[in-house]
């Protein structure tokens, strides 16, 4: 019988291989045969742990996100936003190919889109809600704006820059986005 440590290590290896292949060939061309061959395991091994390609891919992507989308309280709205933007841009920069693949495949596959939303998009949404809740509790936010736009605006700009235009996102860029767009749109004037 295999030790738990060895089983966990093999699972990490399989998930790493799945993420690599997803980046290389896309969701539609990704197969259990290819994953098994590259990982050096049998298809039976994959099916024992994951009942479908959807399940394996989402697990691989979720595990690849090796940091939490939470922003420790930075003391003010501006600093919280800047930290959240850094987390999002770091993940997008690292996993742009995977995200493009999931977005594209999700257009054709409602189950994959639903699972992607639940496992990946929801943690982003929760992070922004936490930033808003803290800023609201500190009295930093305007009452005449719809705060639900914060998440869509911030992530939309980053997704466009990193996934569509393929331009770098520097700290200076994130500071400009924060200081010239987000803070003026949502916070009380200083």
Q: Which tokens in the block code for residue 187?
A: 């916070």
Q: Which tokens in the block code for residue 165?
A: 């235009």
Q: Provide the percentage of residues in the chain whose pLDDT is more than 70.
A: 96
Residue 154 in contact with residue 186, Cβ under 8 Å? no
Beta-bridge partner residues of 187: 141
Q: 97 versus 89: which is more confidently predicted?
A: 89
Residue 2 reports pLDDT greater than 70: no
Residue 104 reports pLDDT greater than 80: yes
pLDDT at site 1: 58
pLDDT at site 57: 87
Q: Provide the percentage of residues in the chain whose pLDDT is more than 90.
A: 45
Residues 95, 97, 103, 106: is their CA dihedral positive or negative?
negative
Give dist(CA 88, CA 69) in Å, integer: 8
Is residue 106 very low, low, confident or very high in pLDDT (cuts 50, 70, 90)? confident
Per-residue pLDDT reduced to its tens digit, 8-33: 899 999 999 998 898 889 888 999 99
Cα Rg for the chain, rounded, in angstroms? 19
CA nearest to 135, candidates 66, 61, 82, 56: 82
Per-residue pLDDT reduced to its tens digit, 141-171: 998 889 889 988 998 999 889 888 888 899 9
Q: Percent helix, strand, coil in the chain (nearest 5)? A: 75, 0, 25
Residue 80 reports pLDDT greater than 60: yes
CA angle 92, 153, 176 (to 5 degrees): 80
Residue 66 reports pLDDT greater than 60: no
* Mean confidence (pLDDT) of the chain: 88
Residue 78 reports pLDDT greater than 90: yes
Is residue 41 very low, low, confident or very high in pLDDT (cuts 50, 70, 90)? very high
- Map out the domains of the chain with their CATH numbers: 4-63 (1.10.10.60), 67-186 (1.10.357.10)
pTM: 0.79
CA angle 183, 151, 171 (to 5 degrees): 55
């Amino acid at each position: 019988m295999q030790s738990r440590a060895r089983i966990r290590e093999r699972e990490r290896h399989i998930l790493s291989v799945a993420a690599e292949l997803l980046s290389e060939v896309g969701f539609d061309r990704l197969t259990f045969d290819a994953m098994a061959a590259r990982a050096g395991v049998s298809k039976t091994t994959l099916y024992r742990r994951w009942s479908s390609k959807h399940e394996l891919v989402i697990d691989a992507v979720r595990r690849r996100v090796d940091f939490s989308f939470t922003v420790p309280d930075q003391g003010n709205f501006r600093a919280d936003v800047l930290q959240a933007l850094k987390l999002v841009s770091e993940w997008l920069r690292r996993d742009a190919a995977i995200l493009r693949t999931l977005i594209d495949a999700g257009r054709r596959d409602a189950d994959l889109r639903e699972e992607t939303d639940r496992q990946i998009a929801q943690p982003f949404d929760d992070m922004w809600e936490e930033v808003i809740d803290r800023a609201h509790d500190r009295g930093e936010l305007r009452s005449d704006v719809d705060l639900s736009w914060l998440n869509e605006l911030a992530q939309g700009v980053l997704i466009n820059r990193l996934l569509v235009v393929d331009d770098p996102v520097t700290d200076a860029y994130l500071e400009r986005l924060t200081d010239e767009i987000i803070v003026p749109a949502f916070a009380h004037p200083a």
